[in-house]
C-alpha cells in the first residue's frame, strides 16, 4: 500500500524524502497556491525509507491513515511527475506553518 504525503507538507516542502526514495515516486508541485510534495501511488513500493526523513511528519504509511490526502496525491501525480526536482530544505529549518512542529 503506498505511502501518502498529507496537508502538513503544504507550503513546507522539506523534500528530504526525495533523496532517499529508491523509485523516485515523490514529486514537487503546487496545490492550493502552495508548494508541496506528493507520492505517486502507482510507483511507490511501500519501502518506508521516506517516513523518518520528513522532519514534520507529513508522510503517513498507508492510504488508510489519510484517505483524503491519498486521493489528492493520486490526482496530482500525473501533473507533478515531470516537474523539475527541487533543492531540499534543511531539516532544522523551522516550519513555515505554525501548526507544524519539527518531530526530529
25-40 pLDDT per residue, tens: 999 999 999 999 999 9
| Buried b / exposed e along 7-31 (16+ C-beta atoms within 10 A) | bbbbbbbbbbbbeebeeebbbbbeb
- Nearest Cα to Cα of residue 5 among 93, 98, 71, 78: 71
CB 55 within 8 Å of CB 9? no
CB 7 within 8 Å of CB 1? no
pLDDT by residue (tens digit) across 54-96? 999 999 999 999 999 999 999 999 999 999 999 999 999 999 9
Give the pLDDT of residue 17.
96
Residue 1: band (very low, low, confident or very high) from pLDDT cuts 50, 70, 90? confident
Task: Please provide the CATH number assigned to the domain covering 4-80.
Answer: 3.30.70.20
Amino acid at each position: 500500500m503506498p505511502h501518502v504525503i498529507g496537508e502538513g507538507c503544504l507550503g513546507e516542502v522539506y523534500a528530504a524524502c526525495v533523496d532517499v526514495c529508491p523509485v523516485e515516486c515523490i514529486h514537487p508541485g503546487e496545490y492550493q497556491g502552495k508548494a508541496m510534495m506528493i507520492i505517486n501511488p502507482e510507483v511507490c513500493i511501500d519501502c518506508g525509507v521516506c517516513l523518518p526523513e520528513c522532519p514534520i511528519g507529513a508522510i503517513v504509511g498507508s492510504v488508510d491513515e489519510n484517505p483524503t490526502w491519498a486521493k489528492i496525491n493520486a490526482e496530482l501525480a500525473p501533473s507533478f511527475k515531470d516537474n523539475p526536482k527541487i533543492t531540499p530544505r534543511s531539516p532544522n529549518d523551522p516550519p513555515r506553518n505554525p501548526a507544524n512542529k519539527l518531530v526530529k
